[in-house]
Amino acid sequence: MLIVSEMEPDLGITLLKEQAASGKAFNHPSDNPTGTSEVLSMNAQIGRFQQYATNAGDGLSRLQTASGALNSVTEALRQVQTDVLSGANAAASDASDRHALSADVLSIKQTILGYAGTIHNKKPVFSGTYGTTPYPQGSTSGISDPESASYDPAAAYAYAGSTIPLSRVVAPGRSVHASVTGDQVFGSGTSSVFALLDRISQDLANRNTSALNGSDLTQLHAALSTVTQAAENAGSLSAAITQDQTNANDTMSSLQDQVGNITDANEDQVATKLDLAEASYQAALETAAKTIQPSLAQFLS
Partner 1 sequence: MAFGQQRDHLLNDVSTVLWRERHLLELLVFKLEEERLLLTAGKVRWVNHASREVEIVLEQLRAAELFRAVKVEAAALEFGLETCPGLRSLSQAAPEPWSSIFSRHRQACLELTGEVRDLSERNRQMLAKGRDAAREALNWLTGKGAPPPQGYTASGAPTQGPGGYDEETIELGAVPATQTIGSYTNDKVPGCGVAVEGADYVTDRFRQSQSYTEQGNLGVLSAQQSGLQAVQLHFREPSSNGISGQLTQYWQDWSALANNPSDSSAQATVVQDGSNLASSLNDTSSALSTLSQQTAQNITLMLVQVNQEASQVASLNQSISRGNAPTSSVEELEDQRDQLVSELSRQLGVIVVNNPDGTVNVSLGSEAIVSGDISQALSLTTSRAAPYSLEWSKDKSTHQPSGGELAGMLDVVNEYIPSYQRNLDQVAQSLMGSVNYLMSQGYDQAGNQGAPFFLGTGASDIEVNPVLLANPADIGANASPLPAGSSATNEDGTVAAEVGELPNSQTVTMSVPAGGWPQGGSASAWTGATTTTGVEPDVAHNQLVAGIGQAAASVNNQLTDQQAITTNVSSALQSATGLNADQELTNMVMYQNAYEASAKFISTVGATLQSLISLVNG
Q: Smallest distance from the beta carbon of 251 to partner 1, in angstroms?
A: 13
Element (H, E) at 121: none
Q: Smallest distance from the beta carbon of 8 to partner 1, in angstroms?
A: 5
DSSP single-letter state for residue 118:
-
Nearer to partner 1, 146 or 182 (CB): 182
What does R_g of the chain's alpha carbons equal in angstroms?
A: 38
At what angle are helices 33-88 and 193-206 packed, to 10 degrees?
A: 10
d(CA 240, CA 60): 9
Confirm if 230 and 184 have CB atoms less than 8 A apart: yes
Residue 18 in contact with partner 1, rule: CB under 8 A: yes
List the interface residues with partner 1, window 39-58 (CB under 8 A): 39-41, 43-44, 46-48, 50-51, 54-55, 58
- Would you give the binding string for partner 1 spanning residues 173-212, x where CB under 8 A is met? x-x-------------------------------------
Closest by CA position to 38, among listed 267, 266, 258: 258
Confirm if 127 and 161 have CB atoms less than 8 A apart: yes
Residue 14 in contact with partner 1, rule: CB under 8 A: yes
Candidates 168, 198, 212, 231: give the one binding partner 1 (CB under 8 A). Answer: 168
Confirm if 111 and 104 have CB atoms less than 8 A apart: no
Residue 253 in contact with partner 1, rule: CB under 8 A: no
Residue 260 in contact with partner 1, rule: CB under 8 A: no
List the interface residues with partner 1, window 133-162 (CB under 8 A): 160-162
Candidates 64, 72, 132, 249: give the one binding partner 1 (CB under 8 A). Answer: 132
C-alpha distance from residue 67 to each of 83, 141, 203, 242, 259 (Å)? 25, 27, 31, 14, 39
Which one of the spans 24-32, 97-105, 182-190, 230-238 is the region binding partner 1 (CB under 8 A)?
24-32
Candidates 131, 147, 253, 257: give the one binding partner 1 (CB under 8 A). Answer: 131
Q: Smallest distance from the beta carbon of 243 to partner 1, in angstroms?
A: 19
Q: Smallest distance from the beta carbon of 127 to partner 1, in angstroms?
A: 7
Nearer to partner 1, 4 or 149 (CB): 4
Task: Specify the 3-state DSSP secondary structure of 24.
Answer: strand
At position 186, the amino acid (one-letter code) is: F
